[in-house]
Amino acid sequence: MASRFIANTPEEQKRMLGVIGAASLEELLVRIPAKARLPRALGLPAAMAETDLIRHMKALAARNADADAHVCFMGGGSYDHYVPSPINHLISRGEFFTAYTPYQPEASQGTLRTIYEYQTMLAELTGMDVANASIYDGASSLAEAALMAHAATGRGEVVLSRGVNPLYRRVVATYGEGPGVRLRDVAAPEGVTDLAAAKKAVGPKTAALVVQTPNFYGCLEDVAAAAEIAHAAGALLVVAADPVNLGVLEGPGKLGADIVVGEGQGLGVPMSFGGPNLGVFAAKNDLVRRMPGRLVGATVDRDGARGFVLTLQTREQHIRRAKATSNICTNVALCALMATIYLATLGRRGLVRVGELSAAKAHYAAERLAKIPGVSLRFAAPFFKEFALKLPKSPERVAARLARQGFLAGVPLKSFDRTLADCLLVAVTEQRTKDEIDAFVAALEKAVA
């Protein structure tokens, strides 16, 4: 297959260049301005033997401050939750080595069944009628929800709480640029959405009100009140939620959400230096034909045996582009498989326990940290497993110092909001032990003294 696309020899390169009328590679690149081209050789080192290359790569990797070698208190959308050992064993089994994209159901029953189970579990967790076969990540899931609300209501504005992850808001803005969806922000001055301001912002032009709970600052939002505001104006309520927390917290669908999205990385997917991740997307039944991606359904074959197929395929690969709900051309089925195994391994009680431990340990850490002279909780609103700390010294410098001591201290908030330049976002999961939390408190106290 490679020889069809790659010119492996000088003769093949010359033949390919001849087809497009170029005598040399240099002639092919002549239209690129000289100032945009590197005037020297790349300076690549000489080739290495495989064993030497492995050593070299390991040495480079060891320079990263990862969550295996450090105690992780970072969050902001990616969390150091425990990954059960069965996941890595099961995802490599042959039953799941079927089609990457399950177009042929007779050859893809392993993949289709796991996606069906994934959809069922996520619909139950979120309190929604139906969940789709996964999207790239939480940010793109939210952007797809905004476009879906725009299409469903015919309205051109989306109102987003500033409590929504700022990186998600940027992706929504990018997606909305094409169809001309206008975005309006609602402040969250005390760590949660200003509902009075939201009520003023949401009107007859609003397609959806978007909130996140727990939000970017870790605070819990009043989803039911947000639903009342959205629905009173004829708009949809979109809620971004972390599914790991939904073992304890009420599913947003039961509180009035029309669309629930989120980042599913915590469901057994390693942080992996930022990806790949898992986008969760669930909605009410009356919106099912506008959902992006695709759905897997259960059916029976001509012999009456149970089987699984792609039921709704609203992607542009499957139907006319003008009628497609999205240009998403794949789903992260491997990550969805990890989430499915994670939920099946932990079960209902296990997921509840993960949430309870995360919340209890986060509140213990917050209480201890807030007793350090000069340190305080930035917001008084109730939080779940993440909270913003106000520090008397630069959070960036404090985080850098603690990294040298083996702690990933948290996420400095200055780059997201300059009014929070003195704040550090700290996340605590079920993985953290009391000894680790106490050691972190002691190290932070010295760092800010």
- Give all strands of the β-sheet with 279-283 in edge-to-edge order: 130-131, 279-283, 259-263, 236-240, 206-212, 157-161, 182-186
d(CA 36, CA 30): 11
Short-list 204, 334, 326, 207, CA closest to 269? 334
Number of alpha carbons in the 13 Å side-chain half-sphere of residue 268: 25
Cα-Cα end-to-end distance for the chain = 62
Q: Is the pLDDT of residue 102 over 80?
A: no
d(CA 221, CA 199): 15
Helix pair 109-126, 333-369: axis angle to 10 deg = 30
Taking all residues of the chain, what is their mean pLDDT, rounded to a whole number?
92
CA distances from 311 to 132, 133, 317, 402 (A): 11, 11, 14, 51
Q: Is the pLDDT of residue 348 over 60?
A: yes
Short-list 203, 207, 188, 159, CA closest to 379? 188
How do residues 138-171 score in pLDDT, each as one tens digit?
Answer: 999 999 999 999 999 999 999 999 999 999 999 9
Q: What region does 157 belong to: left with phi over 0, alpha with psi -120 to 50, or beta?
A: beta
- Residue-range domains of the chain with CATH: 71-83+347-448 (3.90.1150.10), 86-341 (3.40.640.10)
Choice among 15-24, 81-90, 130-139, 366-375 with the minimum mean pLDDT: 15-24
* Over residues 5-26, mean pLDDT: 79
Residue 1: pLDDT band by 50, 70, 90 thresholds? very low
Q: What is the DSSP string of 102-157?
A: ---GGG-HHHHHHHHHHHHHHHHHHT-SEE-S-BS-HHHHHHHHHHHHHHHH---E
Residue 316: pLDDT band by 50, 70, 90 thresholds? low
pLDDT at 318: 64
Choice among 78-92, 246-260, 301-315, 409-423 with the minimum mean pLDDT: 301-315
pLDDT at 314: 64
Short-list 82, 31, 17, 27, CA closest to 268? 82
Q: Is the pLDDT of residue 2 over 50?
A: no
pLDDT at 43: 86
Contact 138, 244 (CB under 8 A): no
* Over residues 201-212, mean pLDDT: 98
Residue 100: pLDDT band by 50, 70, 90 thresholds? low
Contact 425, 75 (CB under 8 A): yes
Interior angle at CA 387, CA 386 and CA 390, nearest 5:
155
**Chain centroid offset of residue 373 CA:** 35
Choice among 25-34, 358-367, 435-444 with the minimum mean pLDDT: 25-34
pLDDT at 264: 96
Task: Work out the burial of residue 124: count CB atoms within 10 Å of its CB; fewer than 13 is exposed, 13-18 middle, 19 or more buried.
Answer: middle
pLDDT at 103: 73
Partnered with residue 283 across adjacent β-strands are 130, 259
The residues, ordered by sequence, that sit 6+ positions from 408 with a Cβ below 8 Å of its Cβ are 65, 67, 70, 71, 72, 73, 74, 399, 402
Question: Cis (ω within 30 of 0) for the bond into 45?
Answer: no
Residue 305: pLDDT band by 50, 70, 90 thresholds? very high
Partnered with residue 412 across adjacent β-strands are 424
> Has this prediction a pTM greater than 0.85?
yes
pLDDT at 24: 85
Q: Is the pLDDT of residue 133 over 90?
A: no
pLDDT at 319: 66
pLDDT at 4: 47
Structure tokens at 260: 């629930």
Q: Is the pLDDT of residue 293 over 90?
A: no
Q: Is the pLDDT of residue 327 over 80?
A: no
If DSSP codes are grouped into helix, strand and coil, which group holds residue 316? coil
Partnered with residue 294 across adjacent β-strands are 313
Residue 174: pLDDT band by 50, 70, 90 thresholds? very high
Task: Work out the burial of residue 417: count CB atoms within 10 Å of its CB; fewer than 13 is exposed, 13-18 middle, 19 or more buried.
Answer: middle
Interior angle at CA 371, CA 366 and CA 377, nearest 5:
45
Contact 270, 83 (CB under 8 A): yes
Residue 104: pLDDT band by 50, 70, 90 thresholds? confident
pLDDT at 3: 41
Choice among 12-21, 55-64, 111-120, 203-212 with the minimum mean pLDDT: 12-21
